[in-house]
A and B are shown apart, each in its own frame.
Chain A
Amino acid sequence: MELHDVWFVLIAVLWTGYFFLEGFDFGIGVLTKLLARDRKERRVLINTIGPVWDGNEVWLLSAGGATFAAFPEWYATLFSGFYLPLLIILLCLIVRGVAFEYRAKRPEDKWQTNWEHAIFWTSLIPALLWGVAFGNIVRGVKINADMEYVGNFWDLLNPYSILGGLVTLSLFTFHGTVFAGLKTVGDIRVRARRLALKLGVVTAALALGFLIWTQADNGDVWSLIAMIIAVVSLVGAIGAVAAGREGWSFALSGVTITAAVAMLFLTLFPNVMPSSLNDAWNLTVTNASSTPYTLKIMTWCAGIATPVVLLYQGWTYWVFRKRIGTHHIADAH
């Protein structure tokens, strides 16, 4: 296994970490309208991710930075090619971060309501668009001989990628609902469980369709295994939440996300971004990567930093392990 293959795996790991972690906090954002009945419940939901969402988001920055360093051509083609969708995601992430921090900084009803609308939409839209983006990466887009994207915005909206977007949206929301069940007490926990069941069924249907489509287009035996793991764990997650075992359910929905991302990257390899115009113009792990020297340095850095990051981020989840409910929220504002 050469270093650029290692980095292909590491970038898959970083995206997996991002979708696993920010997945549930996007889900919580969507739930503020789907599950919470009043402001106090919305605050309970937001506080379940309060201490961790910022750290979760850094997984995206790491995935982006690592792609820049390890596969500059991929980074350049991807982000200049997917210009407008990425712009929308960035605008959402800006508003979302500010919304979390500023919502409670003023007592006025209107102020808080506005930020709550913002949290809902800026969680929903990126959750949808990441799926659209990955659908396009896997399916291949119009890339020319110079590695430039030559399609337009509308080329990115095709049935496969839109289905991919719906899968990430529903999967993240399901993941978030299970997380809400895991982190709350009282009435909201009971309702989270009930909602998770319904969402689980919808997610399973969408995901099954998308994964089978992916497998039929580009799959091999490894991607088939990943697909089976994804589907089985999703069914398991639904079963566990029905049985009231939120911890298991959350772990299993995490496995679903991991296996699904793994499947996408398995079908991609050894390409990183195939061209739909000509197979010779595909961006691959070899023609898009950095030099072995840069990759070696990066490998050292990631090899040392990633376990440490996992350690202290894990510790954060441990510190804030207690469930919270409406009675933990003070009445003021």
Chain B
Amino acid sequence: MELALAPETLARWQFGTTTVYHFLFVPLTISLAALTAGLQTAWVRTNNEKYLRATKFWGKLFLINIAMGVVTGIVQEFQFGMNWSDYSRFVGDIFGAPLAFEALIAFFFESTFIGLWIFGWDKLPKKIHLACIWMVSLGTILSAYFILAANSWMQHPVGYRINKERGRAELTDFWHVLTQNTALAQFFHTITAAFLVGGAFMVGIAAFHLARKKHIPVMRTSLRLGLVTVVAAGLLTAISGDQLGKVMFKQQPMKMAAAEALWDGQNSAPFSIFAYGDVSKGRNSVEISVPGVLSFLADGNFNSYVPGINDINKAEQEKYGPGDYRPNIPVAFWSFRWMIGFGMASFALGILGLWLTRKKFLLPPGMRTSEDEVPHLVLFRNKALSPKLARCYWIVALWTLLFPLIANSWGWIFTEMGRQPWVVYGVLQTRDAVSPGVSQGEVLTSMILFTLLYAVLAVIEVKLLVKYIKAGPPELTDDDLNPPTRIGGDHDDADRPMAFSY
């Protein structure tokens, strides 16, 4: 249906909006859980107080963020039944299982241990408390894995057969669903991209404090940890992205062609940096491209043949019957570029930052008049220029804090939009997946309510984050430095105020 307010269109908008919104919190949750756990491990091992302050600071931001991630995640699970009931009937036998696994194995883990971690500072011995945050981290990663296995099945269905009698797809090999290369490649790429988000978040916020010369010991540690994370994650994201691209080229050639706005197949296909596509005419009016690179990305060979949109559309018409099997080309084209562009920019900044903050460039301790001088960089041994350059870098780092998050969002938009008009590639089209019994008014109502609520919550969340970012790491109390020795708290502190209360 082409109508702007058709239930299918509305349901798609709602799915897109709620998913992208949910996914703003997911990568930060995954990466901050692990980074916070790492900082707390450093505290337990070294007893250096700066690590505990860092743990509390990043832990607080992590909690503000995960709260939103958890509550927006609930919508995702029920949305399939609400707006996509025919999809649920058709694929429930396969798609439901990883979802149920996620709840039973990952969510329970995550949500139970997060409660223990938040309230457990004065109830658990140091090491058990530390184990709790690692459990949370494990939970977030497992959760990502099961969801991505489910999503990968929609991108590349395996391990199933079609039961014509019951009109549905049925599972034949669950292990194959969990371990197919699409699932593994997507998981690898999504997790590394998540750490890019967390790393850049840390770098940006640490830079903000360093620029103001505040909380220097904690923020310098955070800055270095963030930078190392950005560089390592950036590298792995690129590698995993390349792998995913090759898998995609084999399994979803249409998506790859759309990502490049490559209308007609050719050998030694170019990677186009900029194009202005005209979908109705099936050609690009303006294009800047590098020859051979697309062939290399797709197949590892600069001369390979890459089929174009028109060829694939024709082939799919022959295979699946008449129809238009092209996704929205401009969206696919630009989302692909924005994903790569924002991700690469962040990675480059990470490399630069790591290079700039080498020991060699830091003001040596003997020359410092106060602790404040530590973040000043002595570039090229030019003392007058270095504070200015350092400040420049801090500001840039702060402004680019959200780059990987933008890259992540566009990455998902590309993945999901590039698969259209299929909801399960080659098996079920999106228009056949919506709930037939749900009225336009109902979908519209829910879409408006979710959007309004999400908008309000976004404002609240960002304000809270800013408040706690500005406040900086907390001062430590005696209670912080003397954790209990027994589970449930020590006997003599029965009437002491709780270390954490709502």
Q: Residues on A close to B: CB < 8 A?
A: 43, 46-47, 50-55, 57-58, 60-62, 64-73, 75-81, 83-84, 86-87, 90-91, 93-98, 100-106, 146-150, 290-291, 293-294, 297-298, 301-302, 305-306, 309, 312-313, 316, 318-322, 324, 327-330
**Are B489 and A313 in contact, CB atoms less than 8 angstroms apart?**
no
**Are B116 and A322 in contact, CB atoms less than 8 angstroms apart?**
no
24 contacts between A and B (CB under 8 A): A46-B502, A51-B120, A52-B115, A58-B112, A65-B96, A68-B95, A72-B89, A75-B92, A80-B82, A83-B82, A93-B74, A94-B453, A148-B436, A150-B437, A290-B92, A290-B93, A298-B100, A301-B101, A301-B105, A305-B105, A318-B488, A320-B119, A328-B498, A329-B498
Tell me whether A81 and B74 are in contact in the complex, defined as CB-CB below 8 angstroms, given that A105-B464, A305-B105 are known contacts: no
- Does chain A have a CB within 8 A of B405? no
**Are B64 and A105 in contact, CB atoms less than 8 angstroms apart?**
yes
CA distance A83 to B460 in the complex (A): 28
Which residues of B lie under 8 Å from residue A91 when comparing CB positions?
Answer: 449-450, 453
Q: Tell me, rounded to whole Å, the shortest Cβ–Cβ distance linking A187 to chain B.
A: 16
**Are A58 and B111 in contact, CB atoms less than 8 angstroms apart?**
yes
Q: Taking chain A's interface residues, is the majority helix, strand, or loop, or is none over half, making it mixed?
A: helix
Which residues of A lie under 8 Å from residue B68 when comparing CB positions?
Answer: 98
Which residues of B lie under 8 Å from residue A96 when comparing CB positions?
Answer: 71
| Closest Cβ neighbor of B135 among chain A residues | A312
**Are A319 and B487 in contact, CB atoms less than 8 angstroms apart?**
yes
Tell me whether A58 and B103 are in contact in the complex, defined as CB-CB below 8 angstroms, given that A72-B93, A87-B445 are known contacts: yes
Q: Tell me, rounded to whole Å, the shortest Cβ–Cβ distance linking B133 to chain A.
A: 14
**Are A80 and B438 in contact, CB atoms less than 8 angstroms apart?**
yes
**Are B74 and A103 in contact, CB atoms less than 8 angstroms apart?**
no
CA distance A301 to B168 in the complex (A): 23
**Are A62 and B100 in contact, CB atoms less than 8 angstroms apart?**
yes
Give 9 closest A-B pairs by Cβ, nearest first: A72-B92, A79-B81, A69-B96, A68-B96, A65-B100, A101-B67, A80-B85, A76-B85, A51-B115
> Which of B70, B83, B170, B449 lies in contact with A54, CB distance below 8 A?
B70
Which residues of A lie under 8 Å from residue B496 when comparing CB positions?
Answer: 328
- Does chain A have a CB within 8 A of B23? no
Which residues of B lie under 8 Å from residue A61 when comparing CB positions?
Answer: 74, 77, 103, 107
**Are B488 and A55 in contact, CB atoms less than 8 angstroms apart?**
no
Tell me whether A313 and B82 are in contact in the complex, defined as CB-CB below 8 angstroms, given that A65-B103, A72-B92 are known contacts: no
> Which of B100, B111, B445 lies in contact with A84, CB distance below 8 A?
B445
> Which of B67, B437, B446, B497 lies in contact with A102, CB distance below 8 A?
B67
**Are B99 and A328 in contact, CB atoms less than 8 angstroms apart?**
no
CA distance A203 to B171 in the complex (A): 45
Q: Tell me, rounded to whole Å, the shortest Cβ–Cβ distance linking B347 to chain A.
A: 32
Which residues of B lie under 8 Å from residue A106 when comparing CB positions?
Answer: 464, 467
* B: contact size bracket: 35 or more
**Are B172 and A321 in contact, CB atoms less than 8 angstroms apart?**
no
Interface centre among B77, B83, B91, B97 (most CB of A within 10 A): B97
- Does chain A have a CB within 8 A of B371? no
**Are B100 and A86 in contact, CB atoms less than 8 angstroms apart?**
no
Q: Tell me, rounded to whole Å, the shortest Cβ–Cβ distance linking B126 to chain A.
A: 14
- Does chain A have a CB within 8 A of B385? no
**Are A316 and B116 in contact, CB atoms less than 8 angstroms apart?**
yes
> Which of A51, A302, A318 lies in contact with B118, CB distance below 8 A?
A51
> Which of A76, A328, A330 lies in contact with B88, CB distance below 8 A?
A76
- Does chain A have a CB within 8 A of B138? no
Q: Tell me, rounded to whole Å, the shortest Cβ–Cβ distance linking A25 to chain B.
A: 12
- Does chain A have a CB within 8 A of B174? yes
CA distance A10 to B467 in the complex (A): 45
> Which of B72, B92, B114, B501 lies in contact with A43, CB distance below 8 A?
B501
> Which of A43, A57, A64, A306 lies in contact with B111, CB distance below 8 A?
A57
Which residues of A lie under 8 Å from residue B172 when comparing CB positions?
Answer: 293
**Are B95 and A83 in contact, CB atoms less than 8 angstroms apart?**
no
Which residues of B lie under 8 Å from residue A100 when comparing CB positions?
Answer: 502
| Closest Cβ neighbor of A329 among chain B residues | B501
Which residues of B lie under 8 Å from residue A55 when comparing CB positions?
Answer: 108, 111-112, 115
Which residues of A lie under 8 Å from residue B112 when comparing CB positions?
Answer: 52, 54-55, 58, 309, 312-313, 316
Q: Tell me, rounded to whole Å, the shortest Cβ–Cβ distance linking B249 to chain A.
A: 31
**Are B80 and A68 in contact, CB atoms less than 8 angstroms apart?**
yes
Which residues of B lie under 8 Å from residue A328 when comparing CB positions?
Answer: 495-498, 501
- Does chain A have a CB within 8 A of B427? no
CA distance A122 to B124 in the complex (A): 31
**Are A69 and B107 in contact, CB atoms less than 8 angstroms apart?**
no
- Does chain A have a CB within 8 A of B78? yes
**Are A79 and B78 in contact, CB atoms less than 8 angstroms apart?**
yes
- Does chain A have a CB within 8 A of B53? no
CA distance A241 to B415 in the complex (A): 57
Which residues of B lie under 8 Å from residue A293 when comparing CB positions?
Answer: 170-172, 174
Q: Tell me, rounded to whole Å, the shortest Cβ–Cβ distance linking B284 to chain A.
A: 42
Tell me whether A58 and B108 are in contact in the complex, defined as CB-CB below 8 angstroms, given that A97-B70, A321-B488 are known contacts: yes
- Does chain A have a CB within 8 A of B104? yes
CA distance A126 to B103 in the complex (A): 20
Interface centre among A46, A65, A86, A302 (most CB of B within 10 A): A65
Given contact pairs A51-B115, A62-B104, enumerate 5 new A-B contacts (beta carbons under 8 Å). Answer: A54-B114, A69-B97, A72-B92, A91-B449, A97-B71
Which residues of B lie under 8 Å from residue A309 when comparing CB positions?
Answer: 104, 108, 112
| Closest Cβ neighbor of B113 among chain A residues | A312
Tell me whether A62 and B107 are in contact in the complex, defined as CB-CB below 8 angstroms, given that A46-B502, A294-B93, A321-B488 are known contacts: yes
- Does chain A have a CB within 8 A of B442? yes
Tell me whether A290 and B445 are in contact in the complex, defined as CB-CB below 8 angstroms, given that A50-B502, A55-B111, A301-B104 are known contacts: no
CA distance A20 to B90 in the complex (A): 33
| Closest Cβ neighbor of A111 among chain B residues | B460
**Are A79 and B85 in contact, CB atoms less than 8 angstroms apart?**
yes
**Are B488 and A69 in contact, CB atoms less than 8 angstroms apart?**
no
CA distance A51 to B112 in the complex (A): 8
- Does chain A have a CB within 8 A of B352? no
Which residues of A lie under 8 Å from residue B113 when comparing CB positions?
Answer: 312
**Are B67 and A104 in contact, CB atoms less than 8 angstroms apart?**
no
- Does chain A have a CB within 8 A of B457? yes
**Are A68 and B100 in contact, CB atoms less than 8 angstroms apart?**
yes
- Does chain A have a CB within 8 A of B102? yes
| Closest Cβ neighbor of A50 among chain B residues | B502
Tell me whether A50 and B467 are in contact in the complex, defined as CB-CB below 8 angstroms, given that A294-B94, A320-B123 are known contacts: no
CA distance A53 to B67 in the complex (A): 12
| Closest Cβ neighbor of A75 among chain B residues | B81
Which residues of B lie under 8 Å from residue A321 when comparing CB positions?
Answer: 488
Which residues of A lie under 8 Å from residue B467 when comparing CB positions?
Answer: 105-106
CA distance A164 to B28 in the complex (A): 41
Tell me whether A87 and B97 are in contact in the complex, defined as CB-CB below 8 angstroms, given that A64-B103, A321-B488, A330-B497 are known contacts: no
Tell me whether A90 and B85 are in contact in the complex, defined as CB-CB below 8 angstroms, given that A55-B112, A101-B64 are known contacts: no
> Which of B77, B94, B116, B489 lies in contact with A51, CB distance below 8 A?
B116
Which residues of A lie under 8 Å from residue B293 when comparing CB positions?
Answer: none
Which residues of B lie under 8 Å from residue A146 when comparing CB positions?
Answer: 436
**Are A65 and B105 in contact, CB atoms less than 8 angstroms apart?**
no
**Are B501 and A102 in contact, CB atoms less than 8 angstroms apart?**
no
- Does chain A have a CB within 8 A of B86? yes
CA distance A150 to B449 in the complex (A): 23
Which residues of A lie under 8 Å from residue B457 when comparing CB positions?
Answer: 94, 98
CA distance A305 to B142 in the complex (A): 14
Q: Tell me, rounded to whole Å, the shortest Cβ–Cβ distance linking A37 to chain B.
A: 18
Tell me whether A68 and B99 are in contact in the complex, defined as CB-CB below 8 angstroms, given that A94-B71, A150-B437, A293-B172 are known contacts: yes
